[in-house]
A = this chain, B = another copy of it.
Amino acid sequence: MPGPIQSLSRAAAIMRLLAGGERRLGLSEVATALDLAKGTAHGILRTLQQEGFVEQDPESGKYQLGAELLRLGQSYLDVHELRARALVWADDLARAAGETVYLGVLHQQGVLIVHHVFRPDDTRQVLEVGSMQPLHSTALGKVLMAYDPVARGELGEGPLEAYTSRTLTELGDIDAECALIRERGWADAIEETWEGVASIGALIQDRRRNPVGAVCISGAVERVCEDGFVRPSLVASVRSAARAISRDLGAGRF
């Protein structure tokens, strides 16, 4: 039976739809958005609700995502081997560099943040675990594209969004950048996604040398850069953390 189960794919589409829209959605909105009969959409929603994946506001009757997703997402993190091994190294890196540390993996057309260490100071920061970052304008994303053909393939051919004036939007430029990244072994992104923010990333490999994720530090361009280039000492810290995590992942084998 090499075909996806229709009702399941539709349920997934509904959940993604609910995740995308900021506000709650009504039954009819869901049905028309996905081109389903109202009865069909209702059946799926009712089941999802029963399972806790979707909740219904009893007042308006509109639907939103449910708590079970949060619980399962947490379980995903619990089992995540890369994340587990990287926890302590990421902590050390944040302390050594004095900057925010992200750990990301390829997911669909972006980088999913699976771990986030706050910059070690007292400013209020929001946890970004579970959020996505673009592939073509972040150090994490560029590292993954440089080493993982699948990641590069996710860019497609469409025009790339320019978040700032420094964002690379031409596929040719991206490929040249990737070649450079492979050559020197690390990636940077200076104000390519957010004004004023620069990041430095390096690859994490598993025991068979497959790319499985990336670490990066991210911080104000004034601190991370010097004379328009990222500080070599920070690059060294990031690469050493990435090597340490990769070694840790391979430990089971040797």
Contacts and interface: CB of A to CB of B under 8 A. Distances in A.
A186 interface: no
Contact of A52 (B50, B52, B107): B107
B67 A12 contact: no
Interface stretch (A129-137, A143-151, A221-229, A239-247): A129-137
Interface string A115-132: 000000000100101111
Copies of this protein chain in the complex: 2
A77 B20 CA distance: 13
Given A5-B7, A67-B112, A107-B68, A130 B43 contact: no
Nearest to A208: B59
Contacts of A32: none
Interface in A28-52: 39, 43-44, 46-48, 50-52
Interface residues of A, number: 57
Contacts of A251: none
A129 B74 contact: yes
Interface centre among A5, A64, A108, A129 (most CB of B within 10 A): A5
A74 B72 CA distance: 11
A171 interface: no
A152 to B, nearest CB: 19
B71 A70 contact: no
Contacts of A11: 5, 8, 11
Contact of A46 (B4, B12, B48, B107): B4
Contacts of A53: 12
A72 B15 contact: yes
